[in-house]
């Protein structure tokens, strides 16, 4: 689990860098995430052949759920008084 968290943090950080590099435009979060995940996977393959499947253990469904959850938290409407 600790390794999975470290990998996800690395992907999240790289996705943020990609977002900044593309002018901080909204709407490309999934594309940035997928590109960041690909880069992390390739980087891991170079360090340890055969490690690609071990690098991203959360799976696509869990990644999508985490992204959706984070998006909802960041875009929650203000409470109505």
Q: Is residue 30 part of a domain?
A: yes
Going by C-alpha positions, the residue among 62, 5, 64, 80 that lies closest to residue 29 is: 64
Domain that holds residue 10: 2-74
pLDDT above 70: percentage of residues in the chain? 53
Does 37 fall in a domain? yes
Mean pLDDT score across all residues of the chain: 74
d(CA 81, CA 73): 19
Contact between 41 and 52 under an 8 Å Cβ cutoff? The reply is yes
Residue 80 in any domain: the answer is no
In a domain, 81, yes or no: no
Q: Which of 24-28, 43-47, 51-55 has the lowest mean pLDDT?
A: 51-55
> What string of H, E and C letters represents the secondary structure of 44-66?
HHHHCCCCHHHHCCCHHHHHHHH
Would 32 be classed as within a structural domain? yes
The answer to whether position 79 is within a domain reads no
What gap in Å lies between CA 70 and CA 29, rounded to an integer? 11
Domain count, the chain: 1
């Amino acid at each position: 689990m600790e390794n999975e968290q470290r990998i996800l943090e690395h992907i999240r950080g790289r996705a943020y860098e990609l977002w900044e590099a593309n002018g901080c435009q909204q709407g490309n979060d999934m594309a940035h995430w997928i590109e960041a995940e690909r880069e992390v996977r390739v980087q891991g393959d170079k360090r340890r052949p055969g490690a690609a499947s071990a690098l991203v253990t959360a799976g696509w469904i869990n990644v999508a759920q985490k992204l959706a959850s984070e998006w909802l938290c960041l875009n929650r409407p203000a409470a109505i008084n």
